[in-house]
Amino acid sequence: MQHDILVLANKNGGNFSTKKIKAIENILALGEGKLRFRVVVTESLLRLEEVIKEYKGGGITLAAIVGGDGTMLQTRTLIENEWGYSPLYAFYAEGTKNNIQRSLGIGPNSSLALTKHIVDAACTDTLELYTFKVPSLDINGWKGFNVGFGLISRLLWFYYGKSARAYYEMEEALQSCDEEQYQAIYKKFAGKEANGKWGVAKSVLQLLKGLKSGTEESYLLQKRIIGEIKFDGEKQQFPQTPIGVYASCYEEVNLGWGRFNPKPSPEANKEEGKFQAVVAYGNPFSIIPQLPKVIAGEKMSNALYQSLSTLEVPAEKVVEIDGEHIPINKAKVSYDGTRRVVTLPVTV
């Protein structure tokens, strides 16, 4: 079988390197005659959309996405909505945020090593032996692996060292934008994420501000999710007003804390055709201390865990999908089958 490979790289990715892209291209050229490939570098969402439309009906069997979480989310959504099918994927963690890579258990693959492995496997017709299936979600047409509403989205915002005021401003700005404007508007408010110890320190300061009544941080953290939440079409009642909802359909979910990977356990990925939804309610400051439980794969005391096929949430303008903040109103989350992802062979 001859593979048609399309490599899509985001020039705006946090770790983008022209030299590395050229090296990837050189390695792919070693498989000439056994595979066909194209390497395309895009600078904008509009250009990415144009390229994907150009290859519609082109018989692409493997799409390699080079970039961070946002690039993978945007690219996968455009590919599947435009082409009408999902090809075999290879994810290259070359962005500012690479949580998908960790949360899927792929690990920090070397881009060059992964490319060489793809060429070797494609040329010997063994590529399928090095793939694994990952359940996926559809969120109002977005193709993501996990989605968070309310408190979940805000905690991630704070984690990246951003202010409550910037969050409110982003909510308002994203409401009136279209798809072409989204990337520019989001970057204006998100900017470069704070990393390392300084990022953690800023996060702690934001949460401490939230403990004081009357602050913007306190208002943002304690904001409730108002409206009907439906499980498989049925309206739900909760002991207290929900403040956060999280949905995922695989076991390990990374929320940005490096090697500390919160796991929505124990139901995630246990029932075929379903994902796990976690609805947290009550006081947000009773939930935050329970994060060690989440990291350990245990249940929180003030949260409902449920396996679902569909989830409807009255989103508050901005939700988090795979670590990226997206403008959505009245979100519907559905189980969307599985995706095949190439990984390096396991070494013992």
User: What pLDDT band is residue 67 in, cutting at 50, 70 and 90?
Assistant: confident
pLDDT at 12 over 90: no
Average pLDDT score over residue span 107-134? 84
pLDDT, one tens digit per residue, over 244-265 is 998 887 655 444 444 445 554 5
Q: How high is the pLDDT of residue 10?
A: 86
Tens-digit pLDDT profile for residues 24-42: 999 999 988 889 999 999 9
The answer on pLDDT for 220 being more than 80 is yes
| 14 vs 305, residue with greater confidence | 305
When pLDDT is cut at 50, 70 and 90, the band that residue 62 belongs to is very high
CATH (residue range 3-125): 3.40.50.10330
- Measured in Å, how far apart are the chain's first and last C-alpha atoms? 29
Q: Model confidence at 189, in pLDDT bands (50, 70, 90)?
A: confident
The CB density around residue 216, as the number of other CB atoms within 10 Å, is 16
**C-beta separation of 266 from 297 below 8 A:** yes
Question: Domain-by-domain residue ranges, the chain?
Answer: 3-125, 142-337
CATH architecture classification, 142-337: Sandwich (2.60)
The per-residue pLDDT of the chain, averaged, comes to 83
- Relative orientation angle of helices 151-159 and 196-210, to the nearest 10 degrees: 130
Helices (H), the chain: 18-29, 45-54, 69-83, 99-103, 111-123, 151-159, 164-175, 179-190, 196-210, 216-221, 284-287, 291-295
Per-residue pLDDT tens digits for 330-340: 899 999 999 99
